[in-house]
Structures are given as structure tokens and as C-alpha cells.
Structure 1
Amino acid sequence: MTKSTSARSLPLTCLCAISTAFSFADVALAQQSLPTINVGGARRASTASGPRAVRPVQAAPSVVAAPQSGSGSGSGTGSFIPAGMQVGRGPTDVHGYFAGGTSTATKTNTPILDIPQSITILTKQQLEDRNSLTLNQALAYVPGVTVAQGEGQRDQITIRGQPTTADFYTDGVRDDAEYYRDLYNIQAVEVLKGPSALIFGRGGGGGVVNRVTKKADGVMRRDMQISTGSFGRKRITFDVGQEINDQLAFRVNGLFEQSYSYRDFFNMRRWGINPTFTWKPLDKTLVTLSYEHYFDHRFLDRGIPSANFNLGPEAVRAQTLGLGYLFPGYPSPAGRSTFFGNPAVNYAKTDVDRAVLMIDHTTDFGVNIKNQTVFANYAKFYQNTFANSGVIFNAACAGTLPPCVQLSGYNNETPRQNIFNQTDLTYTLVMAPEIKHVLLGGMEFGNQKSDTNRNNARWLDPFSGSANFNTFFGAPTVYSPVVFNNSNAPNGFRRHTDLDLAAGYVQDQISITKYVDILAGVRFDNFNLKYVNNFAGINPTIDNYRGQTIYSNTSRWSPRVGLVVKPLEHVSLYGAYSRSFLPAAGDQFNTLTVSSANLQPQGFENAEAGFKAEITPTLLFTGALYNLNRTNQPIAINAFYNVLTNTRTVGGELGLVGYLTKEWEISLGYGNQHAYVTSSDRNVALAGTGSGVFFTEKGKNVPSVPQNTFSFWNKYDVSSLLGLAPGVLGLGSGVIYNSKFFAALDNAVIIPGYARWDGAVYVKLTDNISGQVNVENILGAFYYASAHNNNNIMPGAPRSAYVTINAKF
């Protein structure tokens, strides 16, 4: 470690230590007494400060799990967890698919009706009913969210027109490394839409995705799931936990999976183990310790290219060759399973180690203190060959017959180490019979160290071989020799980043009578980045030369304000405004250059209005309209040149989730959005067109943003119709629809829209054994599920069936 790095890390270490020590020290302070501040009587319970006055809840059939808290804590329903407390943060008041509140969106336990923000919560029951095993599968049913291809080696999504690889969180703490996330130890998935920098910090321009892990709550459980089905899936998970004594509980979740795919050569093996412990040294104190090791090794597949030749000579040549079936501007007619590249060298491997210590204490005078420290180490390596062009018909097919496709490749090692410490203090202040404040103050400190070591491929000859390889379109799977030793060519990297961050935030949730709630807060972030690039740039005055060190410091205020009006007891109308930012180094803070280091951070500004209505105690109807502007966004044109663009997303969403009847559960969502470039700093003449024709990104549609998205999943307990006991037999069915979208910002390739029909059957065999059969794409539709760019397009899976057995011991 260099002297400068040590100097910067020392204050961070001290602050984290002080913050953690403060949480322990407060146990002693709790013995002191302060005057209770309560001017006037308390208002009704349906406020941001705690649980609402609850209407009678419909009886849930036994095919649906009993009500749970979002973290599996029981929220005081058992003897181990004190009444009113929750282990960690997450959804609350959960019944089947319905969640009445969450403690994630505001860091306080708040009913959904009182949060001025669009939120989608996927409960454990919904995830299990749909057989959603991965984060990508879970998000496929969320309107306004598009699952991108992620180059075949990471989760990548687009929320409200904002692409991201980093806006993923676990229990409210950043989990921003690039890898595929499994849900074996997850209690719920929360999608919070719109900028949420006040709570989550930088990024999150379109929203964030938060996974809520299962916690040790003292509940006795011995659960196991075994799954098998199409393409050789073999998967087993277990969930074991109990109360050890009246002060200590444990829980362990585990996973092993070996699976294959409809795509040629694909195979995947992953396993994970996540023990967690909860200690209750005092009645109002919980200490949670968790550790997870997760391993994922898979074949890396980036899909198929497009038939993206220009109109003119190329089209004429295609017709001459009798290849008119290759329509320009769409995915090429490659088979659903066809692999492009050399399968002998493609793979991705990820090891994740994550340890968490959380302390939750409430003093005798009502201040709640939460302190969470997270250490995460990500070891990631991937290597791939892939189609790097559309179908080619001209002389560029040197070495093979037309039509051909150009193949490229590289490997990349991207280790990362994250350390975060968060401290939150909350206090409820009753100022008058009808005025209440829920006050939040907090701070966050972190350090992130990352490396990017990338080598480009050489084909045929390890010393003088070409960076690209042409192959006949009809035979795109090749076994030609390829080595990865070319680190100095364009796109070869040797990068190291060391990031220190510090933040402070305050928030006030004000209840003014039972009709009006106000949320207001602001956060200040300081982002200090040291960036070393050992890549030998072409121009040292513009690009980074070998060994050059760049320092970047960014400080920003991120405000948030919202107004909630409740004309009826279970209906709310809201308006909200929020801002967020992203430093010039980008999502993964690894794209800094001499020129971009001086750029202003990207900005996100969101205005939103909506409504929420609890039609019944377990049926929620929501809607929102929003306008989201993004400024100063760099778009890569080639290895050395970016353009700056501003974009706007305007849209609306509708959602319905919960019980329609005691036998019928539903989750329905619709999103309409238009994301486009409002300005660009590029306005150049196209070659060969004369000075009167110019090219600019202005007016282009943002890629991977369908204008219309629709999802519908429902489950019906048909037992009573057949004279069976409740919960013995259930049927599920769902539809996903995405309209067409563009694969890249040049809008040259269209990904056609599609609809997919899924279904399920649920059977309760005994009191302790149940089973389900899930069928995806029942009609066997051929469609394209996602794209990374014009020539990395992933065909969707054909009809697939999976059988799952659930056992309790």
C-alpha cells in the first residue's frame, strides 16, 4: 500500500471503529433517563412511525405460507424476537404476495401507503410460486424493468431507461460487483424506482434492487427443496434454523446446483452456504452476524449477432447471393441454440465471500440505533469469444466465404474488495396530538478496491495473430487456436482503483393529522477516487499512459422531498422530487481518463406523482407517472472516444398485488415509458454524404427500453372446487409481454417484441411434503429475451418444465 493510500484509509478505519463502538457504548447510555417529549396525544397508528390500525385480514389458504416479516424475523410473533422489532430491514405485514410496508425505502418501518415512491416487492411466496431462482428470473415480472444480457457473465438491468450493472443492494448495503446472483438465501426482492440517493448514495438513477436475506429469527425450521427438469437441471437447497436458548438463534441456508441449457455447450455449477446468528443480550438489543460463501462457474455465452448490413450495395449483394432472408436491422436467423465463438475457451468464474455484523439497539428514551458493517470480497474471472459484427457480405470476409461473421475475444480478471459501515439513528417525536415527526440521521463510510486486468485474443498465432477471426455464418462454432496475451492493443487493461467514500444524511417524516404526510431529507456524499492505469495509451496527453495515477474527488448534495395526501383512510395520493448523481468514473468506477476526470458527475432528476390504494387489507392497487432526466452521460463510441448525452424518460406504471379472494392471489403490472436522447455533443458529417448530412445521437431511443411492458401472475387454490381440503391443489398461470426495443444507441437493430405464457401446478402431498411443476413458455414461442449490443443478442428459452419437491422435517 502506498503512503497516500494509507493516509486516506486511516481516517476511514478510525471513523468505522468509532461508529461501531458508539453502538455498543449506547447500551450503557440507555441506563440514563431523559425527559419524554410527547406534547399532546398520539395520532392514529397509520403513520410513518409504526404499524397502522389493521383491518381484519382475509384468511389465507394453507397453500400460502403464513404471514412473515421481510427478514424472516417474525416481527415479534415469537418469543425470541421482542414485539415490534425486526431482524434487519425488509418488507413487513407480509401475506402471500402482499406486503403492507417496508423498512428499506426510508430506513424506518413505514406503510407502503405512506411512501411517496413507486415500489415493487416480490415476496418469498411469489418467488417460490414462480420458481424464480435467480435475480434475473425474479425481475422478469417487474414492469418498467428490462433484464439485459450482461455479456453472459453478470446481472445487468435497465430501470426507467437507466442501464446499470451496479445498483444492486443486499439488506440495504451496496453489492455492486458484476456477477449473477442466486436467491437461495433471499426472503424478498425489493425494487425501489426513481433516484434514491438519500438512502442508498451515488447512482441508482432509475432505481435500485435490494435483496433481503433470511435471518436467524428463532423459528424452528428444517426445510429442503429438490428441483429437476429440462436441460438437466439438478438443484438442492436447505433452510435450517432454531432458537438455541432465549438469547441466541441460528439459521443456515445452503445451495448446490448443476444445470445445462437450451444453448449449445452451456453448463453451470454453483453452490453457496450462508450461516447467520442472532444474539439478544438485552430485551431491546439484537446483534446479527452473517457470513456467506457463494461460488458460480459457468460457460460464458453472449448469444447471436444481427443481420445489420446497410441498405444499398450490401442489400443488393445479399439478394444476388439468394440471402434475402437476412433482413437488415434485426437479429440474424441463427438457431436458438447456435453458439458463436470457440467453446473450448469460454467460461466465467465467481467467488464471493461476504461477512456482516449488525447491531440494533433501542434506548430507554426511544432512540433506535442501527450499525451495520459489511466486508465483501469478490474474485471474478471470465474469458470469452463472441460475434463482434453483424452478418458481412463484402470483401471484409477475407479468409472465408460470405456471408460471414467476425469473431473477437478477451479475458478479464476483476477482483473487488468492499468495506462499508452504516450507522442510523431514528427517533419519534410527538409535537402535538396530530403532528408527529419520525427523525432519521445517519452516516456511511466505505472503501472499495478494484482491479481490471484484461487481455485481448490472438487468433491462429500467439505472436502475430489477428485480433479478429472471420468465419462462415453457417458454421460459427470454431475451434481455431486462440490465446489471450495481447494486453497492449486497444481495449487491453491494467487498472487499479481505490475509492474512499463518506456520507451523512438526515430525514424527517412528518405526519400532520391523519390526512397529510411529508417526507423531506438530504444527503451529502464525498467520493474520493485514486485510479492507476498501466495501459500504454496512444496519446499520453489525452489517454492514460503506463503507470499514470489520476485522482478524482466528487462531492454532491442529494435532496428528496415528498408529499402524501390521504383523502380516505386506505387511499393515498403523492408527489415527489429527488436527485442523485454518478461520478465520471461510471457504475464500476473504472473508466477514468485524463479528459473525463474533469467532467462533471452525471446527474439524475426525477419528478413523480402517483396513488396507492388498499382495496382490501391484503390487496394493493398502485399507479405512478414520472419524468426522469439524466445529464452528462458519457457514451462509448470506440476505445478512446466518448460523447456526452442528456436523456429523458417519461412514463407511467400500474400495479395490483395481493388477494382477490381468499383462494385467488394476483400480481399484475403494466409500464409505459419512452426513453430518448435530448442532446448530444456529437454533430459530425457522415463520410461520403457531403457536408449537408450530419450524425448525432439526439432523438435516438435509449436501448433496452420497451415502450410497453406487461406482466401478470396469479395462483388459484382449486381445492374447494374439487371437494378437497384447502391448500391441497393449486393452479398458477402468468404472462410476460415486452414490446420491441433497440439493441444499441445507434438504433440500427430492433429486438422484436414478444409474449410468453407460463404456468404451474401445486400439490400438497402430506402435511410436510408438497410439490410443484412449473412450465415456462408453454406455447414454445421463439423470441429474443435480451441484448447487450447489436451483435450480442440472446434468444429466449423454448418450452421448459421443472419439478420441485418441498419437504419439512
Structure 2
Amino acid sequence: MTSRSALRPAPLAAALALILSPTLAAAAAPDADAPASGAAPTTQLATIEVTGKVDYRYVQKTTLTATRTDTDLLDVPQAVTVITQDLIRDLGIQGMADAVRYVPGISVTQGEGNRDGLVFRGNSSTADLFVDGLRDDTQYYRDTYNIERIEAFKGPNAMIFGRGSPGGLLNRVTKVPGADPAREIGLQIGSWNKRRLTADLNQPLNDRAAFRVSGVYEDSDGFRDGFELRRKGLNPTLSLRPTDATVVTLGYEVFRDERTADRGIPSLSAAQAFDGTRYPVSTDRETFFGDPQGSPASVDVNAFTALIEHDFGGAFLRNRFRYADYDKFYQNVFPGNVNAAGTTVALSAYNNDTRRENAFNQTDLTFDLATGPIEHRFLIGAEIGRQETSNERRSGRFAPGQSVCLPGSSASTCLVALSDPNVRLSVDYANNSAGGSGDARNAGVTRFAALYAQDQITLSPEWEAVLGVRWDRFDVDFTDQRNGVSPANRDLSSSDDLFSPRVGLVYQPADQLSFYASYGVTYLPRSGEQLASLTPGTQALDPEEFKNYEIGAKWDITPRLSATAAAFRLGRSNVAVVDPIDPTQMILFAGDSQRTEGLELSLSGEITPTWQVVASYTYQDAVITRDIRTGPTSVTPEGTELAQSPKHMAGLWNRFELSERWGLGLGAIYRSRSFASTSDQVTLRSYSRFDGAVYYAVNENVDLQLNVENLFDKTYFPSAHSDSNITPGAPRSYYLSARFAF
């Protein structure tokens, strides 16, 4: 497919080339093996050959994931933000919550203190996370030790990624072997006994093979009393080029995360509301509510990946396979309601054990065709997958006679003093409900198969269209293994045929500027425990449906500075809610019930050679669009704001190069007022937080970095899980890092 720049004069690019030609002459000298000017472009197998890439620091110019073809971001009719490796390093990003700090349209949730939780354009999710384009939906905290960059895609993405991800998703792109030797060791120490070691070693074996291994080990505490974190990971990867046209990349990751499950602090009771509004209780940020020693969380991940790429000359084949085994357990003693007098808080407890095996295979074939003056880049693909999951949840029962449990406590609730809520408790998690089989005990198998096709059409030098459709067959078999469950409700199943279209139109009046409009649909089928709680006779409820309308603009102000703008409207329908007659069941509210409208702006890149910047702003109006009964006497009214979806979010990060050795970073984030849940009763106040960093290059092989978070020691609440589980932000924190290259 002929590139747009070949079809249109590029005066700005030409001017820049003339200005910069003395500098670029040596770096851009033609390779003796390169094709002559005017030769037909060839597909690049870039898995091993990573040399020669331009370093744009905070700017990513192309994407393979958004369309499954190597496409300029200017030509993608969708809002996309890329967190580059330089930004990951400068900000000290080590998890997904840190990664989205300056990303428009995405906020974070608490995730019950045991998993990544994100809100994409008003839609909360713990499952819309991918790695190298394949689903990684088990609920745990992910690390960045083996990650090259993180891609944030906004709006429905079903055409490319399949079910779910209604408001967006995060895709982690892993590090792969390169052609040049590289070895790096990273050390970090800091506040709250932070101790972290990372390693990234790349070694070409010969001109046909390269090996890379990344690793992490961390042993840290946290600002919350009793919090501990231990994690370790190892990810070796091997790339082979058996022929000039074929690359095979094999990888295996072993990862373990152990931590204290921290559910945060409760809110004031309704009796203590101020002007009808409730806020988090007033307490030290360090105060842990519950039993930190009795709240362990752990996950073990073993994942094998295989990528095969082959260039047929006129077509390109890519096959990805991922098998992952997850073993996750968490247990928590956590806060609930505060009494009317504001003197006691109710503690509850439960644990949860989940095993999951994922096996996914994804095959893509891309090729170019021309029909007269119109050029096509076709993608034809198929994906199959199987997920086998077992889960058991058990409520905790508090041993009687414990001195910390105040009068009024029960076997399921321990009342403790609000002034002293960090307690050590004796809790029995034996199967004590539903005839001795726990609150939930089930097993399920999910199978899906998908076919999809996409056409990227170059209609003229200025116009391009992206048309695609995906068909998914989604089957779920679910077994409720609790004792006492009737045979009719023990084995349940659901099947869905999902058709997900994608339509986009791009207008590019100049090489550096594009405007786009897009429409997409995605579905979220019923699955897992939701099947067991549906009102009898409605097991085959239609899946939830999400429709996204978006218009936007993308502008490469310079080759190293990019700006984007997007206006969107995202609607949600067919939502399942609690049956007002029987709270153990769910019913369907057909039709539209939720809407998010908004505007996203971003700027990233180089203002001057010594000033790098990342800036973002989001305005969103995320509301429920109809009255929804959630109980015999309760109604969630039309106009209710969606949880943790502030109307305004802004971020600005700057890195200044003071000299060849010294650099300075300064950033700020702002979040307007939001609500902890869709009750809209508990308010999380607006806040601004400032961060800083100092960078010092000792020599070519040693870099030092000091990151200071929350420079002015602001008290704030960045996330929540419910009205009684709210996370305080960390006090001022210092982290000193050293990187050694050899």
C-alpha cells in the first residue's frame, strides 16, 4: 500500500529536512543493502531487527495493535495514548494505576486492594487488560518490569479485541530480543522501606537468534500500617529467524505477587452527613481498618507465549499463542458501616480462591490490493480460546468472646472502636454456609471462536476509511457446586453470537494533520456467577451492548510533538440489575440505561530539545439515563453520576534538561469531585497533587533518579471500591533509583 506521504507534497517535512540535513546526514546515510529509491516497500520483520528506530522519547508514531497492521497513529480513527518506555522510566511507573496518571479518559478504582481496577470513560473494569494483544483478564496487580510500552485504547474495541472493553482497554507490549547486546540492572530504595531490584539482559546469539531475560524482585512495606508487598518475576524470551522471511519468538513468564489486601477506610454515617453529603472518616492516612495480618493476597502466574511471523512477499502472516495459568487467593478483614454516633465501625471478613487457565490463539493475514486508484490493506483473521475457571468464596465468622469486638457484634460482624480499628482477630473461614460449601463454589468453562475482517481503504491522498466486522461465538458452561443447589440451577449454560462492526473515516489535509469520525459496537455476554443469579427462566439474557460515537483530530505539530483531541458519546444498554423482589436474583433492564459524553485532549513530546512534556485533559458527563429499581424501596434515579468518574481530569508532566548530566521533572494532576459509588452519597473531594524528579547521569553507564510524589503532602482520596472502602492517597514519598548499563 502506497504511503500517504508518497501521494502528497510535504512542505513542512521538506523544510525540516533542509534545516536538519547536516545533523541527519550521517545518521540517515543509506544502507548498502537497502532497496533503491522508488522500489516497492517490503514488510519488515521487526521482532529481532530493532536497530535504526527513531527515538521520539514521549511520542509513539505507529501502532501494530490498533488495527493489527503497522499503521501511523494519524491514520487510526480512535483515541489512542501510548505510555512509552522513556515515560515509564521518568515517572517510575511500576503498575497500571501509575501508568494512566496522565492518560485522558481513564481513572482508577481500588479493586478491593487485590487487583488492578480502572474506569474507562465511566465504565469500571478489572478485566479489560491485554498483553501483546491477547487477553489477560485474571484479576491481579501487573508489573512493568518486562514491558516496553503500554497502549491505552478508548471506546469499544471489539473488532480487534473481542468481547468487553466497552470504554477502553490497556495493552502491555512486552520486551523482546534485539540485535544489539544490552545489559541493565536497576536498584530502587525509598519511603516505606521500598526495596526493588530489576534486570534486563539482551544478548544476540548470532545473526539468526537473540535472547533476552527480564526480572524483578521487590520486598517493600507501605504507608498503611501493617501493609507488606513481596513480588518476583522472571521472563526469558528467545527470538529465532530460521529463514529471511520468518521470525519465531518464544517467551515464558513466572510471576508472583504477595501483598496485604487493603480495603481503605469507611465513610461517615448518614447521621453525620454535611449538607446531605457524606465524606471519608477523619483519620490518619496510615490507619489500617481491619486486620492486616489476616488479609493476605497472592497470585502466581505462569504464562507461555509463541509468536510466528512470516512474509510471503505479497502477504504477511502473524500467529500469536498464549497459555497462562493463574492461581489467586485473597483474604480480607475490612470495614463496613460506621454507626450514627461515629464511634464504632463494623468489620466483616471473607476469602476467595480462584484458579484459571487461559489458552488463546490468534491468526492474522494481511495483504494489499489496488482497485484502480483505490488501495486496500486487508486483514483477515481468526481467534479461538478457552478459559477454565474454578472459584470458591467463604465468609468469615468471628470467634465469640474476643475482647476487641464490642457489644452488638455477631458471628459475621465485629464492631470495633473507630479510633482504634487496626485489630488482630480470630476468624473461622471453614465452609459454614449453604450446607457447608461456602458462599460461592463453582466451576466454569468459556469457549469462544471468532472470525474478523478489516479493510483499510485509501480513497485518495486525503481520505481513508477503515471498515471491519467481527463475529464471535461465545459459549459458557457453569456448574454451581454448593451443597443444596437444586438440579435445575446446578448446571447452567449460555451461548451468544456477537457481531461487532467498526467504521472509521479519516481525512488528512496535510501530512501532519488528520481528522476522523468513528463508530463501534461491543458486547459483554453473561457469564460466570451472573448466570446463577439470573431470575429463573432468563438464563439466556441478551448481552450488554455498548455503542460509541467519536470524532477527533490528531496533529503532529513537529516530528517530536503530537496533539490529539476527541469528542465521544458512549451508550450502554441491556444492563442486569438486582431483582427488587428477590435480591438473590437479577433482572434485565432492556434499552439504554447509561451514557458517557465527553472531550479528551492530550499533548506529548518535545517542546524544545531540552523540554519534554505530557499533558492531558478530560471532560466527561457519565450518568444513568433512566430510573432503575435496585430494591423494594430503593431507586437509582435518572441523572445519577457513575462511580469514580470525575467531570474534570487534568495532568501535566514536564522534564527539563538543565545540562548534559542534570535533568529536572515536575508534574501535577487534578481530579474534580466524584462519588465513591453510584449511590452518589459519599463524595471524594477534588484534589491536585504535585510530583517532582531529579535526574543525574553519572556517566554513560550509570544514571541516578530521585522521584518525589505528593510534593506538598496533600491529603486526598484517589480511589474507592464502595461507600465504605475508600483509599487514602500516600503522603509525601521519596524513591531513589539507580540504573547500571554494561
TM-score (norm 2): 0.90
> What's the counterpart of residue 709 of structure 1?
649
Matched, 1:378 2:326: yes
Q: Distance in 2 between matches of 1:114 and 1:602?
A: 30
C-alpha separation in 2, matches of 1:610 and 1:119:
11
Amino acid of the structure 2 residue aligned with 1:168: L
Is 2:550 the partner of 1:608?
yes
Task: Give me the whole-angstrom Cα distance separating, in 2, the residues matched to 1:763 and 1:380.
Answer: 40
Q: Alpha-carbon deviations, 1:298-351, whole Å to 9, x = none?
A: 111100000031xxxx45xxxxxxxx9999511111220111112231110110
Q: Give the equivalent residue in structure 2 for 1:565.
A: 507
Structure 1 residue 266: Cα displacement? 0.3
Whole-Å separation in 2 of the counterparts to 1:200 and 1:88: 25
SS at match of 1:780: coil
Deviation sequence 1:45-97 (CA, Å, 0-9, x none): 479xxxx98964999xxxxxx99xxxxxxx99xxxxx983222999x865100
Tell me which of 114, 128, 142 is aligned to 1:181.
142
Task: Tell me, in whole angstroms, the C-alpha distance in 2 between the residues paired with 1:134 and 1:685.
Answer: 41
- Which string of whole-angstrom CA distances, capped at 9 and with x for unpartnered residues, describes residues 159-181 of structure 1? 00111111000000000000000
Equivalences for 1:634-713 in 2 at 5 Å?
634-635=576-577, 640-642=584-586, 644=588, 646-682=593-629, 686=633, 695-713=635-653
| 1:483 alignment partner in structure 2 | 428
Q: Indicate if the aligned counterparts of 1:627 and 1:649 stay in contact, CA closer than 8 A.
A: yes
Contact 2:615 2:652 survives alignment (8 Å) = yes
Q: Counterpart in 1 of 2:223?
A: 262
Pairwise CA distance, 1:683: 7.7
- Whether the 8 Å contact between 1:367 and 1:426 is mirrored in structure 2 is yes
1:802 matched residue in structure 2: 735
**Aligned partner of 2:473 among 522, 526, 530:** 526
1:680 shift after superposition = 4.2
Instruction: Answer whether contact 1:224 1:236 (CA < 8 A) is retained.
Output: yes
Asked whether 1:730 is paired with 2:663, we answer yes
Instruction: Please report how far the alpha carbon of residue 280 of structure 1 lies from its aligned counterpart in structure 2 after TM superposition.
Output: 0.2
Instruction: Answer yes or no: is the 8 Å Cα contact 2:533–2:584 preserved in 1.
Output: no
Q: 1:349 to 1:46 in 2, by over 3 A?
A: farther
Alignment check: 8 A CA contact 2:294 2:424 kept: no
Identify if the C-alpha distance between structure 1 residues 163 and 596 changes in structure 2 by more than 3 Å, giving closer, same or farther. farther
CA distance in 2, matches of 1:405, 1:220: 57
Q: CA deviation at 1:246?
A: 1.3
**Aligned equivalent of 1:358:** 307
Are 2:298 and 1:342 aligned? no
Distance 1:592 1:176, change over 3 A: farther
Q: Evaluate the alpha carbon distance shift between residue 628 and residue 211 of structure 1 in structure 2; reply closer, same or farther with a 3 A threshold.
A: same
DSSP 3-state at the match of 2:467: strand
Deviations 1:425-478 (A, max 9, x none): 00011333x42111000000000001111110001149x961111112112122
RMSD: 2.8
SS of aligned partner of 1:281: strand
In structure 2, the partner of 1:35 is none
User: Which of 267, 272, 282 is residue 333 of structure 1 equivalent to?
Assistant: 282
Question: What is the one-letter code of the residue matched to 2:126?
Answer: T
Are positions 1:766 and 2:699 aligned together? yes
Shift in Å, 1:781:
0.3
- How has the CA–CA distance of structure 1 residues 651 and 88 changed in structure 2, closer, same or farther, with 3 Å as cutoff? farther
Contact 1:89 1:171 in 2 (8 A): no
Map residues 109-124 of structure 1 onto 2, 5 A cutoff: 109-124=70-85
In the other structure, the counterpart of 2:440 is 493
- The equivalent residue for 1:786 is 719
- Distance 1:486-1:683 versus aligned 2 partners, 3 A rule: closer
Deviation at 1:383, TM superposition (A): 0.6
Q: Which amino acid aligns with 2:595?
A: R
Q: How does 1:395-410 map to 2 (within 5 A)?
A: 403-410=343-350
The aligned counterpart of 1:423 is 363
How many equivalent residue pairs? 705
What is the rounded CA distance, in whole Å, between the counterparts of 1:549 and 1:228 in structure 2? Answer: 51
Letter in 1 for 2:687: Y
Instruction: Read off the aligned partner of 2:417 and give its amino acid letter.
Output: F
1:135 deviates by 1.4
User: Partner of 2:430: helix, strand, or coil?
Assistant: strand
Is 1:101 aligned to residue 48 of structure 2? no
Deviation at 1:182, TM superposition (A): 0.3
1:373 and 1:361 map into 2 onto residues whose CA distance is 15
Measured at CA, do residues 624 and 410 of structure 1 come closer, stay the same or move farther in structure 2, by a change above 3 Å? Answer: same
Paired with 1:374 and 1:88, the residues of 2 have a C-alpha distance of: 20
Contact 2:444–2:528 (CA under 8 A) maintained in structure 1: no
Cα distance change, pair 684–729 in 1 and its aligned pair in 2 (3 A) = closer
- Identify the match of residue 435 of structure 1 among 374, 384, 403: 374
Instruction: Give deviations 1:362-405, integer Å, cap 9, x for gaps.
Output: 113x110011111000010011010122x2127xxxxxxx6211
Equivalence map 1:237-256=2 (5 Å): 237-256=198-217
Instruction: Decide whether the 8 Å contact of 1:579 with 1:603 is kept in 2.
Output: yes
Distance in 1 between the 2:647 and 2:540 partners? 35
Structure 2 residue runs without a partner (length 5+): 21-26, 29-33, 36-41, 402-408
- The code of the aligned residue for 2:187 comes to I
- Match of 1:379, SS state, is strand
| Change in CA separation of 1:614 and 1:150 when aligned onto 2, cut-off 3 Å | same
Query: 1:157–1:89: structure 2 CA closer, same or farther, 3 Å change rule?
Result: farther
Q: Is the 8 A contact 1:166 1:588 kept in 2?
A: no
Distance in structure 2 (CA, Å) of the matches to 1:595 and 1:187 = 48
2:682 counterpart of 1:749: yes
Q: Comparing 607-616 with 332-341, which one deviates more in the overlay? A: 332-341
With over 3 angstroms needed to count, the CA separation of the structure-2 counterparts of 1:525 and 1:745, relative to structure 1, is same
Q: Percent identity, aligned pairs only?
A: 38
1:84 counterpart (41, 44, 65): 44
Q: CA deviation at 1:717?
A: 0.7
The whole-number CA distance in structure 2 between the counterparts of 1:611 and 1:326 is: 42
- Aligned partners of 1:644 and 1:681 also within 8 Å: no
Alignment of 1:452 onto 2:391: yes
Mapped partners of 1:520, 1:640: distance in 2: 43
Q: Does 1:470 align with 2:415?
A: yes
SS in 2 for 1:199: helix
Closer/same/farther in 2, CA of residues 263 and 307 from structure 1, 3 Å limit: same
Q: Are 1:582 and 2:543 matched, yes or no?
A: no
Instruction: Check 1:584–1:520 CA distance in 2 against 1; reply closer, same or farther (3 A cut).
Output: same
Cα deviation code 1:191-223 (max 9, x no counterpart): 000001000000010011000000012221011
Deviation at 1:797, TM superposition (A): 0.3
SS of the aligned residue for 1:784 comes to coil
- Unmatched tracts of structure 1, length 5 or more: 1-37, 60-65, 68-74, 77-81, 316-323, 395-401, 687-693, 720-725
Q: 1:799 to 1:620 in 2, by over 3 A?
A: same
Change (3 A) 1:88 1:329: farther
Q: 1:418 to 1:53 in 2, by over 3 A?
A: farther
Do the aligned residues in 1 keep the contact of 2:525 with 2:542 (CA within 8 Å)? yes
**More divergent stretch after superposition (140-149 vs 178-187):** 140-149
Greater shift in the superposed pair: 275-284 or 342-351? 342-351
Give SS of 2:159's match. Answer: helix
